[in-house]
Structure 1
Amino acid sequence: MAMDSETYFSSFAKPFIDATILLCLIGYVAWHLWSKKHPASPPGSRGLPLLGCITSLRAYPERVMAKWSQKYGPVCMVKMGLMDVVILGSVEAANEAFAKSSSFADRPSNAVSLFSSKYGVLFLQSGKFHTEQRRFGLNKLREFGMGKRKLEPTLIEISNELCDRLDSICDQNGGVSAPIAMEYLMYDTISNIISHMVFGYKVAEEKEEFQKVLREMVEPSKLHVLHAIMFIAPFLQRLPVFNYTRRKEDLFRNKLHRLMAVEIDEHIRTRDPGNPRDFVDCFLDEMEKAERQQANENKSRPQNENNNSIKEDDHDESSHQGEWRPLSSFSRDQLIHITKDLFMAATDTTSVTTLWMITFLCKHPDIQDKVQKELESVYGQSGIITMRLMDKLPYFRATLQEITRCRPAVPLSLPHIASKTDYLMGYRIPKGTTLLTNLFGIHHDPKIWPEPELFKPERHLDAAGCFVKSPNVIPFNVGTRSCLGQQLAKMQLFTVSATLLRKFRFALKAGENPDMRGVSMVSLRPPACEMVISKRF
């Protein structure tokens, strides 16, 4: 007998309805479990199951995260894939996390491969190895002039070399240049300064291979944007498009590694032990000292105890057997990585900030006029640019501080990770949680900075016109993992900017209207644009 239509429909509809109900229940349970947080966790969005909030970041993650901080507060937690990420959106939160606590001083071990978490200094895990290397780095950079007047002649010489190049370009066209891009010139100049301290000479100027590396650093591309997202969420490197970015990054890292190794081997061949010429020589002296000390200890120790000496790979304090040996962190591999970190970080961040300075002054010619008038009133047309007279330059210093407020070179700083479960401003932060300091968000908090998007150096002057150093401008972050070379960066920014602005006027090419949000790719780069440069005298 033929099945009636109602019975026929029911035989197919019931399984479909049952499956739909089952899927809804599974979805509800998955969403509930995904959204579930510890009662003391910071507020924040969980986003979509498995993806979290990663799809919200797009081109300007620092701006998206600033909105999250305004919505949820100075400590908020969001999901990035399966990772919990805490975003710090105030100076108070950053200080409590990194200056007052040791629980959040570590770096993530799955960080992007351009920087190593095993060697170097930027992504080195917290502990005695890091402490020893950071202390050595600070001491030796200071020895070679960081934060001291003895470095000023080098800064002035290299800044004047840039001026000579611009002079030559301007002279070809009656004192006014054809439209040019400043990126290559600026990266060359800043790299020469750090190269002088680390290698004893201007390596990028004299070695073509280093020139090529600088060009790769400067060239913006979609790969850099993907790299920035991967920097926040390293797990993405497993996906095909990100994996391709990772492979390109590995090639660049290996190229840089080889160049550093060649320079170090040349230093080993030509050095005079005990009479260091530069940072590399100082490190090699410490290596020899460590080797001698280890050899003496091995001689005085019974044979069956020799196997307990600290190996090169024993960077984690928890892995050490027995007492920590002084100077045990000095090795050739460590030297290659720390020189790479210094060269990359110092060149990129200071170049970016100086380029932002020039770009903003192109957009605000009235501010450029005030800066140039003040510089000329203090130094004249031919006086030596020296930081000894900085107290007489309140408007210039206010402009520098406003640049670092508006466009911090690394807007999300470098990631930290919780080494243990601890509390931060009353919120529970589980072990393994990634922490990002949104420097851009802190510098654009409307509660502290009225009209934060406006470029206003005057906000850093008091009623008497004196410069006021702001505790709410922290471009180098805070705490024990703050930027190692921040004093050098300040000296470079001051000297290079003052030298250029006293001698040249900068203007955008006719019709040029750059996007002043910049290009966010770990460092926040100024937009690519061409400038017309004219000699002032």
Structure 2
Amino acid sequence: MFLSVVLLWLCIFFIILQLKSRRPKNFPPGPSILPILGNLLQLNLENPLKDFERLRKTYGNVYSLFLGPRPAVVISGLKAMKEAMVLKGADFAGRPQDMFVNDVLENKGVILADYGPRWREHRRFALTTLRNFGLGKKSMEEKIHDEIQYIVKRLDKSIGKTMSPQVMFHNAASNIICQVLFGTRYEYDDKFITEMIRCFTENAKIANGPWAMLYDSLPFIRHLPLPFRKAFDNCTKAEDSSFSEDKLIMYTLDLHFAGTDTTSNTLLTGFLYLLKYPHIQERCQQEIDEVLGGKSQASYDDRNNMPYMQAVIHEIQRMSNTVPLSVFHSTTKDTELMGYSIPKGTIIIQNLTSVLNEEGHWKYPHEFNPENFLNDQGEFVKSEAFMPFSAGPRMCLGEGLARMELFLIMVTLLRKFKFIWPEDAGEPDFTPLFGSTLTPKPYRMKVQLSSS
């Protein structure tokens, strides 16, 4: 009798789960759904990007998945992305709550704040603060140039040798945002900043890794001593840091993380491509020398006279695809997308990779080629499919700082140094490590003085 009752309740439980996991009327199509697990078994949780592309070919640019019992819609292609993030930006500007990243950051900060008056107030404060501390002004350029001198010193010591640029670029990007947020910088071997960057890097891997996805999909495992607990420990260490202050801590950590990991990984990817294609590096150096002449240093305004350098930097951003799935959104109301009905609270996953590589919008969609951003007259032209910072109301608020950093750092270093792939290092490997950001595999480069 007891066994019969248990089996009956189990059957009822699974029926309820199956009903919860059914697609609503006119919901985007997708693969079949398993109770409890949803579509987890159909995804490579270590790196789902190839699975997203495979499912796109089967179900189109708007399709659905279930992360456990939670429905999600994956958006691919420029047309669908523009409709959701730009034309109906407010409808798709929410943030899913009760997920791994929310719990780690305790729902604080501006990046994960749900759409509404609180988010608008925080974003306005962030933009105003960044401008007050120099963003978009000459004073910001000077902060960046000050940090570049430390990179130059490090490279000067490596002339004629091979060196790993990973720590150097991560520390430089971190120090630039530290100058803005905290008014200080740290030596590259400083234990505090080394530990902070380690925490950021580890959390970036965990946040979009298999353990975080299981955390989001299977709530009953959240309190088990599994590897995702490292992210909570890392944030506790960050809260104990010297710049923590009252409720602003997660706010500053948001900006610190966003301003460090993305820029440093873009620089690492960029120099990896320049090592692979020395003729592109040489053409950049020629243009830099022609434009700067006898000037002591580059200014951000010089970009307007460097179409090829601009094209190279944008192509690096396109190919590095540093944040391939952006930050998950959610719908703020019942809405529609490409003719499908999307209920309020649905998780929205932006497949930015699909836009940055979409056929028909790029001359060479699947290869590194600056011609993707040059017209027949050699003038710099930016395609509307270029959206590495996403689009719409939740577009990355650090875009202006990132663009300035990339231009000034790359131009200054290419003006003085030549970077060579070591002869004994085999072929460059462009396969990235997947996480919240795509990170190039560690590599080494040989440094020489430029012949110009």
TM-score, normalized by length of structure 2? 0.88
- Whether 2:76 is the aligned partner of 1:162: answer no
SS in 1 for 2:438: strand
Query: For residue 452 of structure 1, what is the aligned residue in structure 2?
Result: 365
The alpha carbon displacement at 1:440 in A equals 1.1
The alpha carbon displacement at 1:50 in A equals 3.4
Query: For residue 36 of structure 2, what is the aligned residue in structure 1?
Result: 50
Number of residues of Structure 1 aligned to a counterpart in Structure 2: 435
The alpha carbon displacement at 1:118 in A equals 2.8
**Of 437, 441, 446, which aligns to 2:350?**
437
Q: Which letter does structure 2 place at the counterpart of 1:73?
A: G
* Distance change (3 Å), C-alpha of 1:139 and 1:494: same
The alpha carbon displacement at 1:202 in A equals 0.7
The alpha carbon displacement at 1:370 in A equals 1.4
CA distance in 2: counterparts of 1:244 and 1:122, whole angstroms: 26
Q: Which letter does structure 2 place at the counterpart of 1:201?
A: T
Query: For residue 263 of structure 1, what is the aligned residue in structure 2?
Result: 243
CA distance in 2: counterparts of 1:354 and 1:442, whole angstroms: 21
The alpha carbon displacement at 1:121 in A equals 0.5
CA distance in 2: counterparts of 1:500 and 1:99, whole angstroms: 36
* Distance change (3 Å), C-alpha of 1:242 and 1:168: farther
Query: For residue 60 of structure 2, what is the aligned residue in structure 1?
Result: 73
Query: For residue 250 of structure 1, what is the aligned residue in structure 2?
Result: 232
Query: For residue 209 of structure 2, what is the aligned residue in structure 1?
Result: 228
SS in 2 for 1:409: coil
The alpha carbon displacement at 1:376 in A equals 1.8
SS in 2 for 1:516: coil
Q: Give CA deviations for 1:69-124 in whole Å, capped at 9, x if unaligned.
A: 23322211122222211111123323322333322211111232475363210101
SS in 1 for 2:312: helix
The alpha carbon displacement at 1:534 in A equals 1.6
Structure 1 residues 193-202 or 503-512, which shifts more?
503-512
CA distance in 2: counterparts of 1:117 and 1:456, whole angstroms: 42
* Distance change (3 Å), C-alpha of 1:183 and 1:43: same
Query: For residue 85 of structure 2, what is the aligned residue in structure 1?
Result: 98
**Of 519, 528, 534, which aligns to 2:433?**
519
Query: For residue 76 of structure 2, what is the aligned residue in structure 1?
Result: 89
- Whether 2:193 is the aligned partner of 1:214: answer no
* Distance change (3 Å), C-alpha of 1:96 and 1:29: same
Query: For residue 384 of structure 1, what is the aligned residue in structure 2?
Result: 297
The alpha carbon displacement at 1:368 in A equals 1.4
CA distance in 2: counterparts of 1:497 and 1:243, whole angstroms: 43
CA distance in 1: counterparts of 2:272 and 2:220, whole angstroms: 37
Contact 1:45 1:79 (C-alpha < 8 Å) held by counterparts: no
* Distance change (3 Å), C-alpha of 1:58 and 1:365: farther
* Distance change (3 Å), C-alpha of 1:187 and 1:245: same
Structure 1: 4+ residue segments shifted above 6 A: 28-32
CA distance in 1: counterparts of 2:192 and 2:321, whole angstroms: 29
Contact 1:518 1:525 (C-alpha < 8 Å) held by counterparts: yes
Q: Give CA deviations for 1:274-300 in whole Å, capped at 9, x if unaligned.
A: xxxxxxxxxxxxxxxxxxxxxxxxxxx
Query: For residue 10 of structure 1, what is the aligned residue in structure 2?
Result: none
Q: Which letter does structure 1 place at the counterpart of 2:69?
A: L
Q: Give CA deviations for 1:315-368 in whole Å, capped at 9, x if unaligned.
A: xxxxxxxxxxxxxxxxx31x1111111111101111111111001111112211
Query: For residue 3 of structure 2, what is the aligned residue in structure 1?
Result: none
Q: Which letter does structure 2 place at the counterpart of 1:536?
A: S
Mapping 1:343-358, distance limit 5 Å: 343-358=256-271
* Distance change (3 Å), C-alpha of 1:408 and 1:470: same
Contact 1:518 1:524 (C-alpha < 8 Å) held by counterparts: yes
Q: Which letter does structure 2 place at the counterpart of 1:137?
A: A
* Distance change (3 Å), C-alpha of 1:226 and 1:103: closer
Q: Which letter does structure 1 place at the counterpart of 2:302?
A: L
Mapping 1:311-326, distance limit 5 Å: none
Is the radius of gyration larger for structure 1 or structure 2? 1
Query: For residue 443 of structure 2, what is the aligned residue in structure 1?
Result: 529
Q: Which letter does structure 1 place at the counterpart of 2:85?
A: F
* Distance change (3 Å), C-alpha of 1:115 and 1:482: farther
CA distance in 1: counterparts of 2:235 and 2:202, whole angstroms: 16
Q: Which letter does structure 2 place at the counterpart of 1:119?
A: K
CA distance in 2: counterparts of 1:47 and 1:359, whole angstroms: 41
Contact 1:371 1:395 (C-alpha < 8 Å) held by counterparts: yes
Mapping 1:300-449, distance limit 5 Å: 332-333=246-247, 335-380=248-293, 383-449=296-362
CA distance in 2: counterparts of 1:39 and 1:433, whole angstroms: 14
* Distance change (3 Å), C-alpha of 1:423 and 1:412: same
- Whether 2:112 is the aligned partner of 1:112: answer no
Q: Which letter does structure 1 place at the counterpart of 2:234?
A: F
The alpha carbon displacement at 1:487 in A equals 0.5
CA distance in 1: counterparts of 2:293 and 2:272, whole angstroms: 24
Query: For residue 9 of structure 1, what is the aligned residue in structure 2?
Result: none
TM-score, normalized by length of structure 1? 0.75
- CA RMSD, 1 decimal: 2.8
Query: For residue 181 of structure 2, what is the aligned residue in structure 1?
Result: 198
SS in 1 for 2:425: coil
Contact 2:29 2:64 (C-alpha < 8 Å) held by counterparts: yes
Contact 1:184 1:215 (C-alpha < 8 Å) held by counterparts: no
SS in 2 for 1:133: helix
CA distance in 1: counterparts of 2:223 and 2:107, whole angstroms: 26
* Distance change (3 Å), C-alpha of 1:189 and 1:236: farther
Contact 2:307 2:380 (C-alpha < 8 Å) held by counterparts: yes
CA distance in 1: counterparts of 2:212 and 2:260, whole angstroms: 19
Query: For residue 286 of structure 1, what is the aligned residue in structure 2?
Result: none
Contact 2:374 2:380 (C-alpha < 8 Å) held by counterparts: yes
CA distance in 2: counterparts of 1:34 and 1:250, whole angstroms: 30
Q: Give CA deviations for 1:143-190 in whole Å, capped at 9, x if unaligned.
A: 2221233311111121122011110222xxxxx12x321110001111
Structure 2 runs not aligned, ≥5 long? 1-10
* Distance change (3 Å), C-alpha of 1:237 and 1:95: same
Contact 2:96 2:328 (C-alpha < 8 Å) held by counterparts: yes
Q: Which letter does structure 1 place at the counterpart of 2:179?
A: H
Q: Give CA deviations for 1:487-525 in whole Å, capped at 9, x if unaligned.
A: 011111111111112222222332333431211111001
CA distance in 1: counterparts of 2:231 and 2:104, whole angstroms: 10
The alpha carbon displacement at 1:38 in A equals 3.1
* Distance change (3 Å), C-alpha of 1:387 and 1:115: farther
CA distance in 1: counterparts of 2:294 and 2:49, whole angstroms: 40
The alpha carbon displacement at 1:240 in A equals 8.3
Identity %: 31
